[in-house]
Chain A
Amino acid sequence: MNFMNVQQVAKDRKVVGKSVPVLDAREKVTGSLKYGVDFTVPGVVHGKILRSTVPHGRVKWIDTSKAESLPGVLGIVTHEDAPDLNWMGVWDNYRGKVLDGTARFVGDEIAAVAASTVEIAEQALELIEVEYELLPAVLDVEKALLQDAPQVREEGNVRDEYVVEWGDLEQGTAEADYTIDIEMRYKSQNYAGIGRNACVCEWDGDRVTMWTSSQTPSELQSGIHEAFGMPMSNVRVIALPSGCSFGLWWSNNFMMVTALLAKKVRKPVKIELTSQECMAAVKRRHIEITRGRMGVKNDGTLTLADFSHLMDNGAYGFKTDVYFFCVDLWGGALNGDYRVRGVNTNLVTSGCMRAVGDITMGLAVERLADMCAAKVDIDPVEFRIKNQLKSGQLLRMQEPRGHMKGTLSQYLNALSDEQKQDWPKMFHLSSGSTHELLIQGADKFGWADRWKGWGVPASVNGSKYRGVGVGTGAHCCGVEFGGNTSSVVRVNLDGSINVFSACGRQGQGSETTLAQVAAEEMGVSLERVSIVTGDTDAVPWASGSSASTTMFRTGWATREACRDAKNQLLGIASQEFFNGMSIDELDIEDGLVQVRNYPDNHPRIPLDEMMNVLCSDSLSQTSVITGRPNSVMPPTIAFARQWAAQFAEVEVDIETGEIKITDYLAGQDSGTVMNPNVLKNQVIGGAICGAGFVLYEGIEFDQNDGRILNDSLLDYKVLRSGDFPSDVEVFFVESEDPVGPFGARGAGESPAAAAGPAICQAVHNAIGVWVDVPMIPETVLKALKVKSE
């Protein structure tokens, strides 16, 4: 089956590209949608987790007897109840046992109580006595690298270095007219998600069922299988919609603790996390440090991009890389070397948060590139157009070759003829770039008039200085080396379809956009499509909603599953109604099976009539059509990227350091836009996340024990409506992807990566200095003071 055929012309599309309301809109506005915290089952009992008060310690002894004799307490689990098995969370965001008797951060899970009410469970926690053998703790990222640092985990603190390199650094240095260095340190960003989470778990014999808000149903199923050493066939996860997640609610250890507790008490257990637990005891973005050097010629060519990046994994993270794509974004740099290293600390676990690596290291790369542009006095839009990757060019991120079987040519040789013909050129950018985004964006923003030069304000009014800035961001569209994709579609007797595609429901609208893909491919209206996304008894294993996977990969699989089902249907239709015509000449449109392009001369058979044929015994067919992908998706990490370019205007009060965003424009190239309203919302949502990262957000850790000091929204400041312009504009450049469903690519993360650089550059242009992030008023004044000295 040729990938490239039956790619419908945009104007013929019925559902793709339409801003249909999301399928759960009514539930959301009436408050009836059930999230993890709202979910319960009959007979449920309540669990609470005992958390460590020390950053590093071995449980010397733990006495639960007083707690167990409290009336209403049903059971308690400690490390003595947990299997001696490590399990791995999505994207190495967790590696450890469910409970193992060692506390590795303040807030670490030590034990859990199940009781008839939440209050009794809380009281029981107070009655558990535990003594720790205190171990030395390491709370500083750089100290954790040292040979003699306290080791947080048995594998040691330091993970392997991850390297992306090309060209020759010495040559790059020699060819540069200027080289500039940078060091940027980032605070850890908190997910600070509205919605909290809860996990409900029930065992039925050897089978376990878990309901929780999760973006990754399949991976959670795998995690339970690993953590408990049980067959996947006995694990059922029902992933519920989540509140704002940004990568927090994937597979989390508190879910495993719930399962352990439910197994012991043999009753359904619900553990509902408090806001404080969500903010301080689950996961956060890594603390990161970037050191870099770029070399630039007078004509603006980047000759060198040399970066080394350190990130902390906290206590249980196990990442080697951040899978960053600023490497490709600034792929025009002639010679490059990017190194990333992960290191553990006795702080709460850290892992992927929206635009991982690109919101952090990407910011340093953008800033250093801006410094180079300023040095040679080239406009930042022009500088980006000159040095950023264009479609068709070689990707700099070649590291995934290491995941392939054999060499690249061996891999390619092993492909079928069809795949060789259809697949895009491996390790070359297949489509899209920042090019058009920058040109169109500059035009819409009025850049030529508003830009006054590097460090020159656009306007001054008393102590208020305004400046404009541009920023760009990139990310992947799913990474198959972290898991595969699939989908199943079932055609019902009335021609309506059920789609089974694993993904999350954290507000990105995937349950709707995947249904749009299915409706378009099957030729039925959206009302005839029902989708299941979170039940692992129904959905085939597929990478969940992480790494901007869902539209591109799960959407591809959904389309292929529908294509398969359709072909089966057309095969039967051909025999029954179209005299054995080739199925390539048949199609389904508006729920009618018909001949392609000449419908009036030939019969048009309603799908339900078609499906009834299957019930007659003249064909001896099965009574149900089930479709699934018939081919393999090319490795998306080897060719697909998403791009964002954003333009910001800020106003800085140079007497107080306060910053206000006064104007904003966001451009996005994620291929075909499946649902414009959904995507615009995503783009600005990402921009606001990135804006928070550079303006206000940052976790403060206690110096002595690493506990999070600002674990509440009172002092962890997130943007509100009044902090961001209401009349934002979002525009799309739809460079169709050759592989993605109807040309669509992923989009969740690059918008978050582009915002920080745009805002930081705007501030720089307003007041003439670069400011460390987060750019809280005090930090802005410090930078101004340094400048004047």
Chain B
Amino acid sequence: MTYMLNVNGQDFEVEIKAHETLADVLREKLGLIGVKVSCGEGECGSCTILVDGIPCTACLMLGRQGVDHELTTVEGIGDYNNLHPIQQAFIDEQGFQCGFCTPGFIMTAKAFLDENPNPTEEEVSIAMSGNICRCGAYPWIVKSVLKAAENLRNGER
């Protein structure tokens, strides 16, 4: 059976089996490999997407629970030729190493900065604690988010 999913501003008719996770549906049916699945149990945050602007763990949601919501993945906030200020900030401060956790961090950061445009370093560090970076790039992730906040406050996009 197919259902309508609104993803990154577009509507898609997608085949969804009842037990499929939203993360797998987005990855496999829509090719959105920016939704990265690692622990698969809600600990690492790699699969973080936005549901109506709210950060959610896609590997714990049913595909059907994505219906009738606006879903945003990392592919929806910027692309190779047109980076979002948060993505640019992560490059400028090198807020990553292997990069696997990076899309998840960026989505968490997007939702966080939407609510907290002027955070302290401590607030950022706590807010980013829902995502795991096993490579240990945390100080630079925090710097990236602070830089992104500054860029956004200065009116970048």
Q: Do chains A and B touch in the complex (CB under 8 A)?
A: yes
Complex: A195 Cα to B96 Cα, angstroms? 13
Q: Are A243 and B121 in contact (CB under 8 A)?
A: no
| A274 cross-chain contacts in B, Cβ below 8 A | 40
Give 1 or 0 for each of A673-699: 1 = CB within 8 Å of chain B CB: 000011011101111110000000000
| B103 cross-chain contacts in A, Cβ below 8 A | 29-31
Instruction: Judge whether B117 is part of the interface by a CB distance below 8 angstroms.
Output: no
Closest A-chain residue to B87, C-beta based?
A29
Complex: A28 Cα to B79 Cα, angstroms? 11
Q: Are A685 and B136 in contact (CB under 8 A)?
A: yes
| B74 cross-chain contacts in A, Cβ below 8 A | 29-31
Q: Are A38 and B33 in contact (CB under 8 A)?
A: yes
Instruction: Judge whether A132 is part of the interface by a CB distance below 8 angstroms.
Output: no
Closest B-chain residue to A26, C-beta based?
B80
Give 1 or 0 for each of A232-260: 1 = CB within 8 Å of chain B CB: 00000000011111100000000000000
Select the stretch in B50-58, B62-70, B126-134, B149-157 that faces chain A: B126-134
Complex: A38 Cα to B31 Cα, angstroms? 9
Instruction: Judge whether A713 is part of the interface by a CB distance below 8 angstroms.
Output: yes
Instruction: Judge whether B60 is part of the interface by a CB distance below 8 angstroms.
Output: no
Cβ distance A86 to chain B, nearest Cβ, rounded Å: 32
Instruction: Judge whether A508 is part of the interface by a CB distance below 8 angstroms.
Output: yes
| A687 cross-chain contacts in B, Cβ below 8 A | 136
Cβ distance B32 to chain A, nearest Cβ, rounded Å: 8
Cβ distance A193 to chain B, nearest Cβ, rounded Å: 6
Complex: A714 Cα to B143 Cα, angstroms? 27
Q: Are A507 and B96 in contact (CB under 8 A)?
A: yes
Q: Are A194 and B38 in contact (CB under 8 A)?
A: yes
Cβ distance A455 to chain B, nearest Cβ, rounded Å: 29
Q: Are B80 and A721 in contact (CB under 8 A)?
A: no
Q: Are A275 and B96 in contact (CB under 8 A)?
A: no
Instruction: Judge whether A324 is part of the interface by a CB distance below 8 angstroms.
Output: no
Instruction: Judge whether B13 is part of the interface by a CB distance below 8 angstroms.
Output: no
Closest A-chain residue to B74, C-beta based?
A31
Cβ distance A334 to chain B, nearest Cβ, rounded Å: 37
Number of chain B interface residues as a range: 35 or more
Complex: A90 Cα to B78 Cα, angstroms? 40
Known: A29-B87, A32-B33, A727-B121. A243 touches B100 (CB 8 A): yes
| A242 cross-chain contacts in B, Cβ below 8 A | 98
Q: Are B33 and A685 in contact (CB under 8 A)?
A: no
| B100 cross-chain contacts in A, Cβ below 8 A | 35, 194-195, 243-244
Closest A-chain residue to B128, C-beta based?
A721
Q: Are B38 and A682 in contact (CB under 8 A)?
A: no
Q: Are B97 and A30 in contact (CB under 8 A)?
A: no
Known: A194-B100, A508-B97, A678-B94. A30 touches B80 (CB 8 A): yes
Select the stretch in A17-25, A463-471, A595-603 that faces chain B: A17-25
Q: Are B136 and A243 in contact (CB under 8 A)?
A: no
Partner of A688, one of B46, B94, B106, B138: B138
Q: Are A726 and B37 in contact (CB under 8 A)?
A: no
Q: Are A275 and B129 in contact (CB under 8 A)?
A: no
Q: Are B39 and A727 in contact (CB under 8 A)?
A: no
Q: Are A726 and B34 in contact (CB under 8 A)?
A: no
Cβ distance A786 to chain B, nearest Cβ, rounded Å: 32
Q: Are B41 and A721 in contact (CB under 8 A)?
A: no
Q: Are A26 and B98 in contact (CB under 8 A)?
A: no
Q: Could you say which of B38, B44, B79, B139 has the most chain A C-beta atoms within 10 Å of its C-beta? A: B139
Cβ distance B104 to chain A, nearest Cβ, rounded Å: 9
Cβ distance B62 to chain A, nearest Cβ, rounded Å: 16
Number of chain A interface residues as a range: 35 or more
Closest B-chain residue to A685, C-beta based?
B136
Closest B-chain residue to A39, C-beta based?
B33
Closest B-chain residue to A712, C-beta based?
B41
Cβ distance A369 to chain B, nearest Cβ, rounded Å: 26
Cβ distance B66 to chain A, nearest Cβ, rounded Å: 18
Instruction: Judge whether A478 is part of the interface by a CB distance below 8 angstroms.
Output: no
Partner of B44, one of A26, A508, A686, A713: A713
Interface majority SS (helix, strand, loop, mixed), chain B: loop
Known: A507-B135, A687-B136. A244 touches B121 (CB 8 A): no
Residues in B95-137 with C-beta less than 8 Å from chain A: 96-103, 106, 121-122, 124-126, 128-137
Instruction: Judge whether A509 is part of the interface by a CB distance below 8 angstroms.
Output: yes
| B101 cross-chain contacts in A, Cβ below 8 A | 194, 243
Q: Are A714 and B41 in contact (CB under 8 A)?
A: yes
Q: Are A726 and B138 in contact (CB under 8 A)?
A: yes
Instruction: Judge whether B83 is part of the interface by a CB distance below 8 angstroms.
Output: yes
Instruction: Judge whether B91 is part of the interface by a CB distance below 8 angstroms.
Output: yes
Complex: A724 Cα to B128 Cα, angstroms? 12
Cβ distance A514 to chain B, nearest Cβ, rounded Å: 16
| B40 cross-chain contacts in A, Cβ below 8 A | 274-275
Q: Are A714 and B43 in contact (CB under 8 A)?
A: yes
Complex: A34 Cα to B131 Cα, angstroms? 20
| A209 cross-chain contacts in B, Cβ below 8 A | none
Instruction: Judge whether A718 is part of the interface by a CB distance below 8 angstroms.
Output: yes
Known: A194-B44, A195-B38, A724-B139. A29 touches B124 (CB 8 A): no
Q: Are A509 and B136 in contact (CB under 8 A)?
A: no
Instruction: Judge whether A289 is part of the interface by a CB distance below 8 angstroms.
Output: no
Q: Are B134 and A194 in contact (CB under 8 A)?
A: yes
| B38 cross-chain contacts in A, Cβ below 8 A | 194-196, 243, 275
Q: Are A31 and B142 in contact (CB under 8 A)?
A: no
| B41 cross-chain contacts in A, Cβ below 8 A | 275, 712-714
Cβ distance B24 to chain A, nearest Cβ, rounded Å: 10
Instruction: Judge whether A378 is part of the interface by a CB distance below 8 angstroms.
Output: no
Instruction: Judge whether B25 is part of the interface by a CB distance below 8 angstroms.
Output: no
Instruction: Judge whether A37 is part of the interface by a CB distance below 8 angstroms.
Output: yes
Closest B-chain residue to A687, C-beta based?
B136
Closest B-chain residue to A716, C-beta based?
B43
Complex: A435 Cα to B143 Cα, angstroms? 31
Q: Are B129 and A721 in contact (CB under 8 A)?
A: yes
Q: Could you say which of A194, A196, A241, A244 has the most chain B C-beta atoms within 10 Å of its C-beta? A: A194
Instruction: Judge whether A11 is part of the interface by a CB distance below 8 angstroms.
Output: no
Q: Could you say which of B73, B80, B138, B141 has the most chain A C-beta atoms within 10 Å of its C-beta? A: B138
Instruction: Judge whether A722 is part of the interface by a CB distance below 8 angstroms.
Output: yes
Closest B-chain residue to A276, C-beta based?
B40
Partner of B129, one of A31, A686, A720: A720
Residues in A486-536 with C-beta less than 8 Å from chain B: 505-509
Instruction: Judge whether B11 is part of the interface by a CB distance below 8 angstroms.
Output: no
Give 1 or 0 for each of A205-247: 1 = CB within 8 Å of chain B CB: 0000000000000000000000000000000000001111110
Complex: A506 Cα to B121 Cα, angstroms? 27
Known: A275-B41, A726-B125. A721 touches B91 (CB 8 A): no
Give 1 or 0 for each of B17-39: 1 = CB within 8 Å of chain A CB: 00000000000000011111111
Instruction: Judge whether A33 is part of the interface by a CB distance below 8 angstroms.
Output: yes
Instruction: Judge whether B140 is part of the interface by a CB distance below 8 angstroms.
Output: yes
> What would be 9 A-B contacts, judged by CB atoms less than 8 Å apart?
A28-B102, A29-B103, A31-B75, A38-B33, A195-B36, A243-B98, A689-B136, A713-B41, A724-B136
What are the nearest 3 A-B pairs in CB distance? A31-B34, A507-B97, A28-B99
17 extra interface residue pairs, beta carbon distance < 8 Å, beyond A246-B134, A714-B43: A22-B94, A30-B34, A31-B34, A33-B99, A194-B101, A195-B100, A507-B135, A508-B97, A680-B140, A684-B139, A712-B43, A720-B130, A721-B141, A721-B142, A724-B136, A726-B138, A728-B139
Which residues of B pack against A, CB within 8 Å? 32-41, 43-44, 46, 73-75, 78-80, 83, 87-88, 90-92, 94, 96-103, 106, 121-122, 124-126, 128-143
